[in-house]
Amino acid sequence: MSTLTWVVSGYAVMFAAFLAPTGRLADTLGRKRVFLGALALVADLEVRRLSRSGGRGGLSRPPESMTRSEQRE
Protein backbone atom coordinates (compact mmCIF):
# COMPACT_ATOMS: atom_id res chain seq x y z
CA MET A 1 0.00 0.00 0.00
CA SER A 2 1.36 3.42 -0.84
CA THR A 3 2.04 6.02 1.82
CA LEU A 4 -0.71 8.28 0.52
CA THR A 5 -3.27 5.50 0.89
CA TRP A 6 -2.22 4.95 4.51
CA VAL A 7 -2.56 8.67 5.25
CA VAL A 8 -6.04 8.86 3.71
CA SER A 9 -7.16 5.68 5.48
CA GLY A 10 -5.80 6.90 8.82
CA TYR A 11 -7.60 10.22 8.44
CA ALA A 12 -10.88 8.46 7.58
CA VAL A 13 -10.61 6.16 10.61
CA MET A 14 -9.87 9.03 12.99
CA PHE A 15 -12.70 11.11 11.53
CA ALA A 16 -15.14 8.24 11.97
CA ALA A 17 -13.91 7.57 15.52
CA PHE A 18 -14.50 11.16 16.63
CA LEU A 19 -17.72 11.80 14.69
CA ALA A 20 -20.21 10.01 16.97
CA PRO A 21 -18.82 11.21 20.33
CA THR A 22 -18.54 14.77 19.05
CA GLY A 23 -22.10 14.66 17.73
CA ARG A 24 -23.32 13.40 21.09
CA LEU A 25 -21.39 16.16 22.86
CA ALA A 26 -22.91 18.75 20.51
CA ASP A 27 -26.39 17.40 21.26
CA THR A 28 -25.71 17.69 24.98
CA LEU A 29 -23.87 21.02 25.19
CA GLY A 30 -25.06 22.73 22.02
CA ARG A 31 -23.57 22.97 18.56
CA LYS A 32 -22.25 26.50 18.97
CA ARG A 33 -20.46 25.75 22.24
CA VAL A 34 -18.80 22.61 20.84
CA PHE A 35 -17.79 24.46 17.66
CA LEU A 36 -16.25 27.34 19.60
CA GLY A 37 -14.46 24.90 21.92
CA ALA A 38 -12.99 23.03 18.96
CA LEU A 39 -12.00 26.34 17.34
CA ALA A 40 -10.26 27.43 20.55
CA LEU A 41 -8.45 24.08 20.74
CA VAL A 42 -7.18 24.36 17.16
CA ALA A 43 -6.10 27.98 17.69
CA ASP A 44 -4.26 27.02 20.89
CA LEU A 45 -2.45 24.16 19.17
CA GLU A 46 -1.47 26.44 16.29
CA VAL A 47 -0.05 29.07 18.66
CA ARG A 48 1.95 26.39 20.48
CA ARG A 49 3.27 25.01 17.16
CA LEU A 50 4.33 28.48 16.03
CA SER A 51 6.05 29.22 19.34
CA ARG A 52 8.05 25.95 19.10
CA SER A 53 9.18 26.66 15.55
CA GLY A 54 10.37 30.18 16.35
CA GLY A 55 7.52 31.87 14.47
CA ARG A 56 8.51 30.40 11.12
CA GLY A 57 5.32 28.41 10.70
CA GLY A 58 5.88 24.97 9.23
CA LEU A 59 9.51 25.63 8.38
CA SER A 60 11.66 23.68 10.76
CA ARG A 61 14.74 24.34 8.62
CA PRO A 62 15.87 27.46 6.80
CA PRO A 63 14.48 27.68 3.25
CA GLU A 64 18.00 27.51 1.78
CA SER A 65 18.40 23.91 2.96
CA MET A 66 15.34 22.82 1.02
CA THR A 67 16.93 23.43 -2.39
CA ARG A 68 19.94 21.13 -2.06
CA SER A 69 18.79 18.87 -4.89
CA GLU A 70 18.84 21.85 -7.23
CA GLN A 71 22.34 22.85 -6.11
CA ARG A 72 23.82 19.44 -6.96
CA GLU A 73 23.03 19.77 -10.65
pTM of the predicted structure, to 2 decimals:
0.58
Residue 73 has pLDDT above 50, yes or no: no
Q: Kindly list the domain boundaries of the chain, sorted by start residue.
A: 3-55
| Predicted confidence band of residue 64 (pLDDT cuts 50, 70, 90) | low
13/27 Cα distance (integer angstroms): 22
Q: How many residues appear in the chain?
A: 73
Model confidence over 5-62: pLDDT tens digits? 888 899 999 999 999 999 999 999 999 999 999 999 999 998 888 887 666 655 555 5
